[in-house]
């Protein structure tokens, strides 16, 4: 019997080469419900996985939880199991006033402000999405009449700030579009392991908002954006 992946608990023989990854296990289940013949593969900790067909192509949906270290475990094991393409469907906080809640962002690269990738690659190593996957995401969005922003995003470990003031204004002025918590891990691991990676994000607020009073990711406009980005990512996943 084939050994299951140690944390994901997936039998590699059941794992497709093309995979959507997302943070929230309930979102993974939601996306899997769109598939033809969707069914669970495994559930362990934050890692919930499903398998089915999208437009005649076998795909998987796997959740990776919050933050780069746990997500990296997911990405590494999927690659060990035979994954060749990983597209992240996530949420992010905007840094630019023209990028409003409910908008979609395709990340072309990530600023590596996480701690994980500093332990994987040298300082200065870029975290870049695969060009083909970026183009496929753009094509899939365009075919649906969906406008998306493209550009650099920021990956952080922190969500709620402590006593150290984070330089939001610096990243705004640098032209960073949005901030999230896993893209740099995905792009870096994809580069060093030789698999194609990409990410599309639904904007659920502004990065410098007061999280206690101003941040509300549970609005209808954000829910609609998450539905739209899932469809874009699925279409992009099966484009050749």
Residues tagged active-site: 204
* Chain center to CA of 233: 10
Contact 170, 148 (CB under 8 A): no
Residues 128, 150 contacting (CB under 8 angstroms)? no
**Which among 14, 7, 69, 67 has a CA at the least distance from the CA of 43?**
7
Q: Which CA distances in Å does 59 have to 23, 90, 133, 188, 229?
A: 17, 18, 15, 22, 16
Cβ-proximal residues to 138 (8 Å cutoff; 6+ apart), any chain: 106, 148, 150
| C-alpha to C-alpha distance for 96 and 137, rounded to whole angstroms | 21
């Amino acid at each position: 019997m084939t050994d299951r992946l140690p944390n994901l608990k997936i039998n590699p023989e059941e794992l497709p080469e093309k995979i959507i990854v997302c943070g929230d296990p309930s979102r993974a289940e939601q996306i899997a419900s769109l598939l033809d013949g969707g069914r669970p593969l495994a559930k362990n900790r934050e890692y919930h996985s499903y398998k089915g067909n999208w437009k005649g192509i076998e795909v998987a949906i796997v959740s990776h939880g919050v933050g780069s270290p746990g997500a990296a475990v997911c990405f590494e094991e999927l690659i060990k199991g035979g994954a060749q393409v990983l597209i992240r469907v996530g949420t992010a906080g905007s840094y630019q006033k023209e990028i409003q809640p409910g908008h979609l962002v395709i990340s072309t690269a990530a600023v590596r402000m996480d701690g994980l990738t500093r332990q994987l690659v040298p300082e200065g190593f870029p975290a870049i999405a695969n060009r083909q996957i970026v183009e496929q995401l753009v094509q899939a969005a365009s075919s649906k009449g969906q406008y998306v922003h493209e550009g650099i995003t920021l990956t952080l470990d922190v969500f709620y700030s402590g006593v150290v003031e984070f330089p939001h204004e610096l990243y705004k002025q640098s032209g960073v579009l949005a901030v999230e918590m896993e893209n740099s891990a995905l792009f870096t691991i994809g580069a060093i392991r030789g698999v194609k990676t990409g990410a599309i994000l639904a904007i659920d607020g502004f990065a410098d908002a007061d999280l206690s009073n101003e941040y509300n990711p549970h609005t209808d406009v954000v829910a609609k954006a998450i539905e739209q980005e899932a469809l874009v990512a699925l279409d992009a996943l099966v484009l050749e």
